[in-house]
Amino acid sequence: MATADVALTRDITVGKSLRGKRVDVPGVVFQVALLFCLFVCLAFIVLLFGIILDDGLGTFQNRGFVISDLPSELEKALSETWTFLTHPEGLIGWFATLVAFVGLPLAIFFSARGRHWKILVAMVVGFVIVFGIAALVGTSSFLTSDLSRFPERAGVSQAIFGTVFLAIMTAIVAFPLGIATAVFLEEYAPSNRFIAFVRLNIRNLAGVPSVVYGLLGLAIFVQLLGSDIGDIPVLGGTLVDIFGEGGITGGRTIIAGGLTLAILVLPIVIITSSEALRAVPQSLREGGYGVGATQWEVTKSLVLPNAFAGILTGTILSLARAIGETAPLILVGAFFGTFFTTGSAGLSEKFSTTYTALPQVVFQWATDAKSEFRLSLTAAAILVLLAITILANVAAVLLRNRYEKRW
């Protein structure tokens, strides 16, 4: 018998022995009440998901996946990726090219040299999954079409692009700042009233409505950092030379939206990371100090690796929340309407033009006068958003199970 089964059997036996043979009527009633609440919650979830599936699957059946086109779409995805990497445009294009042709070969070389076969297998599986999803998406006209005034032509390709890059920008900004802040508060900050005041305000900020962060993003990232910065004393001319007349963020762009969502989830990242760091036993730190390690060595080699699972889970779940936010995006310039086009703009140019995201499209279509938008297309867009959110949650669960420590 496995060790886990033996431990479970022992716990059950000990529990029964401690409780005795007396029937605990209030306890049974309490368990039934809890079970009833669970079934009610599951019923609501199943009912809601069933309605969305019933309304949205028709769109994918009519404009959905054509499996026979999968090989050609896979070839197209590979060809477009190669063209993008060999003909880089802008800072983002050059960065992607550098990562693909320098960083990736180095990672493969050092992984093979160190015989880290799991990393190599993870890379191969990741490439297969990414290009497989790209090819599958390419077979659906609903997922590859732009917004349109006509329901039969409307799609969510622009919204998917906006959602993915908003998530990437949120992760790039919020994760390092939030984790670094949590490490300082838990490992380095002194125990005084000021630090207690900071912790209290961080917890309060986690409960602030998202529309307030939208107003903050509108004031700072759109109006202040997105306006003409040439009039700023001393640094104004230099900043114009670097960022152009559109300011640092360019106004109502995807950059302003990503920064706003990053500020929105920053308190949540700090709180979840702090809880993960606090869960590491103090005895582990004391053991490190006992063998002569410095505070930096204890934090780097003992605390952070053992808190990694909790930090990763909390950050990914906070990212899933950011993906579904609508109110902040409305305020910081996400497109609200039935049609817009980016033309033949390159990837770097899309960061300075009109953008939208899946929550915004769902809200927009749900309030449209045409029934096709309100019912089938809205439900189909919700299914796409749910798929992205579920992928993020599944990644969080898998990574947590992979790196979780039991004390």
Spatial distance between the Cα atoms of 143 and 132, rounded to a whole number of angstroms: 15
E strand or H helix at 218, and its extent? none
Tokens read off for 104: 């990736």
Higher-confidence position of 325 and 2: 325
Query: What are the Cα distances from residue 214, in Å, to 221, 251, 259, 321, 331?
Result: 10, 14, 10, 15, 6
Q: Identify the band that residue 184 occupies on the pLDDT scale cut at 50, 70 and 90.
A: very high
Residues 262-274, mean pLDDT to the nearest whole number: 93
Higher-confidence position of 88 and 124: 124
pLDDT at 305 over 60: yes
Residue-wise pLDDT for 354-389, tens only, equals: 788 888 888 888 888 788 888 888 888 898 888 888
Residue 101: DSSP 8-state: I
What is the pTM assigned to this prediction? 0.80
Tokens read off for 374: 């309100």
Q: Which of 335, 327, 361, 332 is nearest to 210 (CA)?
A: 327
> How far is C-alpha 206 from the geometric centre of its chain's CA atoms?
17
Structural domains of the chain in order of their starting residue, each with its CATH number? 67-139 (no CATH), 151-403 (1.10.3720.10)
- Over its C-alpha atoms, the chain yields an Rg (Å, rounded) of 25
> How far is C-alpha 214 from the geometric centre of its chain's CA atoms?
18
How many CB atoms are closer than 10 A to CB 395? 15
Which amino acid does the sequence have at 174? Answer: A
Would you state the pLDDT for residue 367? 84
Spatial distance between the Cα atoms of 187 and 173, rounded to a whole number of angstroms: 22
Tokens read off for 305: 């690796």
Residues 127-145, mean pLDDT to the nearest whole number: 83
> How far is C-alpha 10 from the geometric centre of its chain's CA atoms?
41
φ/ψ of residue 225, rounded to 5: -85, -10
Q: Identify the band that residue 317 occupies on the pLDDT scale cut at 50, 70 and 90.
A: confident
Residue-wise pLDDT for 208-234, tens only, equals: 888 899 898 888 888 887 766 555 555
